[in-house]
Amino acid sequence: MEYRALGRTGLVVSRLCFGALTIGPLHANLSLSAGAGIIRRALEGGVNFIDTAESYDTYAYIRAALEGWDRPVVLATKSYAYTAAGMARSLEVARRELGRDVIEVFLLHEMESEHTLRGHREALEYLLAARARGLVRAVGISTHTVAGVRAAAREPEIDVIHPLFNCAGVGIRDGTADDMLSAIREAHGVGKGIYAMKALAGGHLIPRAEEALRYVLARPEIASVAVGMQSAAEVEFNLAIAGGRSVDPELRARLAEQRRRLHVEDWCQGCGQCVERCPHGALSLVGGRAAVDPGRCLLCGYCASACAHFCLKVV
């Protein structure tokens, strides 16, 4: 496994980052032991970087996976909090549930424009104060937009940017893959640490998985690529790609057959909360219930966290 500096943070991270969203309740909802075991296999393969978020509800898996692990691991988490009090709660939840005094990377979740970032300024200021107190090593944002990357690049206090980026540009809300790469290069050029998400476009690029992963990993501006993994087979596949090795043909064929989708249960009430929550405009109300546009859905599962009736799940 290759390791790279995450901008100017002083953190060194593996090229492959374990994306913890997919093992949790918004996706596979694995048992604690099963999910922790998959993370542990990635750690044993050389991964030292794990990405999660408060809304993913996967802190317990990570804490269990790290029990008895004696090598350094960089954890990145995110919060939607926009006030100082809200961010204080989020940071304390992360420290307590992960069992760590210090969170290496703490991000404002889904900052899509300069306006959004400005609206979360109070939460950002809290994180900067927490960094000064030694409770956080690096502060940053996650974003699905070119505008979000550029806004963060202009903020000298921001250390890390976690942008959506894939070879097809799927899910980038305000431009193409080339536009996003240009913004990433701009941010990297001013010292921001960059780690990418959605290299497989939420599953849309599974038929081209090797090509898609290698494309993002080949960008020198990107220190690491967060990939959601929910099985040992997926871990082995991604470790091979990140390590520059060839993939076992049988494993390649097995994973190429996998397809995920967003399932809407029959008891959907048609409240529309999921429609408002979807960052990609993939949901609408049809006939009094939620309907999915598969061409726009990136299988992030964020809509599921907005549903009070537990009607949505990535399967």
Q: What is the pLDDT of residue 172?
A: 93
User: Do 286 and 302 share a structural domain?
Assistant: yes
Residues 156 and 98 in one domain: yes
SS3 106: strand
- What is residue 157's three-state secondary structure? coil
Distance separating alpha carbons of residues 24 and 95, to the nearest angstrom? 19
Pairing of strands 103-108, 136-143: parallel
pLDDT over 70 at 98, yes or no: yes
User: 307 in the Ramachandran plot: left (φ > 0), alpha (ψ -120 to 50) or beta?
Assistant: beta
Question: What CATH number is attached to the domain comprising 157?
Answer: 3.20.20.100
pLDDT at 204: 81
Mean residue pLDDT across the chain: 93
52 and 201 inside one domain: yes
Q: Do 19 and 162 sit in the same domain of this protein?
A: yes
Rounded CA gap, 21 and 224, in Å?
16
135-176, pLDDT tens digit by residue? Answer: 999 999 999 999 999 999 999 999 999 999 999 999 998 999
Domain C-terminal end among 256, 274, 301: 256
Q: Is residue 240 domain-shared with residue 269, that is, in the same domain?
A: no
Query: Residue 287 maps to which CATH number?
Result: 3.30.70.20
**Amino acid 310: pLDDT:** 66
Question: Can you give the pLDDT at residue 231?
Answer: 93
Query: What 3-state DSSP class applies to 33?
Result: helix
Average pLDDT for 99-121: 97
Specify burial of residue 89 (Cβ count, 10 A radius: 0-12, 13-18, 19+). Answer: middle
The phi-psi region of residue 256 (left if phi > 0; otherwise alpha if psi is between -120 and 50; otherwise beta) is alpha
According to DSSP, residue 247 is labeled P
Same domain, 154 and 234: yes
Domain match, 130 and 166 both: yes
**In the chain, which residue ranges form alpha helices assigned H by DSSP?**
32-44, 59-66, 84-98, 114-119, 121-132, 146-153, 177-189, 209-217, 232-242, 249-256, 273-277, 302-306
One domain for residues 228 and 151: yes
Task: Return the structure tokens found at 262.
Answer: 């967003």
The answer to whether residue 253 scores a pLDDT higher than 80 is no
Name the token pair of 206. Answer: 């599974």
CA dihedral sign, ordered 117, 120, 121, 126: negative
pLDDT band at 313 (very low <50, low <70, confident <90, very high): low
Mean pLDDT of 238-252: 89
> Which pLDDT tens digit goes with each residue over 258-295?
767 887 888 898 999 999 989 888 899 898 899 998 88
Please report the sign of the dihedral spanned by the C-alpha atoms of residue 274, residue 255, residue 22, residue 224. Answer: negative
pLDDT at 118 over 70: yes
Boundary-marking domain end, from 217, 241, 256: 256
Question: Taking the model in full, what pTM does it have?
Answer: 0.91
Confidence category of residue 242, pLDDT binned at 50, 70, 90:
very high
Cβ neighbour number for residue 56 with a 10 Å cutoff: 26
Separation CA 15–CA 276 (nearest Å): 34
Residues 164 and 142: their CA atoms lie apart, in Å, by 8
Token duo for residue 8: 């100017």
What number is the average pLDDT over the span 44-67?
98
Residues 117, 152: contact at Cβ < 8 Å?
yes
Q: Is 161 helix (H, G, I), strand (E, B) or coil?
A: strand
Band of pLDDT at residue 254, cut at 50, 70 and 90: confident
Is the same domain home to 103 and 183? yes
Same domain? 161 vs 246: yes
Residue 302 three-state SS? helix
- Name the residue with tokens 């692990």: 69
Total domains in the chain come to 2
Selected residue with higher pLDDT from 111 and 280 = 111
From 239, 256, 273, the end of a domain falls on: 256
Q: CB neighbours (10 Å) of residue 308?
A: 8
State which residues form the domain around 285.
262-314
| 53 and 187 part of one domain | yes
Per-residue pLDDT of 201-234, as tens digits, reads 887 888 888 999 999 999 999 999 999 999 999 9
Q: Are residues 208 and 178 in the same domain?
A: yes
Query: Exposed (0-12), middle (13-18) or buried (19+): which is 128, by Cβ within 10 Å?
Result: middle
What pLDDT is recorded for position 207? Answer: 82
